[in-house]
Copies of this chain bind each other. A is one copy, B any other.
């Protein structure tokens, strides 16, 4: 595995299971991570927990906690790992201009029949596209939608999954494809334009459904590459 670049990554929603788990994996492979939250007081103990988990890992990156805005200001790359509820309002407040923004936000709904995709913008939108509209001077890509938070925080060296990356700017996709290697042991897959986030985001509902039936943590792999 080659990781030519170390990034400084702000994880918005860094105290949630997905954000904390991805932050842990990124730091484990040498990237610097600032876990962001509404208050620094909430983020700091989680950063300390991740730091403790990384004790003795050679070459691990530093993990700190900060407010979401301070985290963004200190980073090159911003991971949006927040619930879809409140997503738009939060994104609109962040100083994202000039940043590479990776959205792993899944607009899902749950009822007695299980998980399913929430309809964004009448079926012609996605959380990632909304973020791009709200932060037009940032470059938004979609990735890491389907990785299991449980496995991210688990013991396996790498997750047996592929990270699918969508976006309209190749250079920004390359960043997410690089970072995927910290999670899966291999580069992410360029899966096309940003609008295909409409497909990647709700696919998580399918995996949740499989998880319930088979009592597992299912992931997606792409065959034929």
- How many chain copies does the complex carry? 2
Contacts of A113 in B (CB 8 A): 193, 195
Judge whether A53 is part of the interface by a CB distance below 8 angstroms: no
Contacts of A192 in B (CB 8 A): 114-115, 205-206, 209-210, 212-213
Q: Are B116 and A196 interface neighbours, CB within 8 A? A: yes
Q: Are B225 and A216 interface neighbours, CB within 8 A? A: yes
State whether A119 and B122 are in contact (beta carbons under 8 Å apart), knowing that A192-B213, A223-B220 are contacts in the complex: yes
Instruction: Give Cα A216 to B113, complex, Å.
Output: 36
A154 to chain B, nearest CB (A): 11
Judge whether A124 is part of the interface by a CB distance below 8 angstroms: yes
Contacts of A193 in B (CB 8 A): 113-114, 116, 209
Q: Are B190 and A116 interface neighbours, CB within 8 A? A: no
Judge whether A199 is part of the interface by a CB distance below 8 angstroms: yes
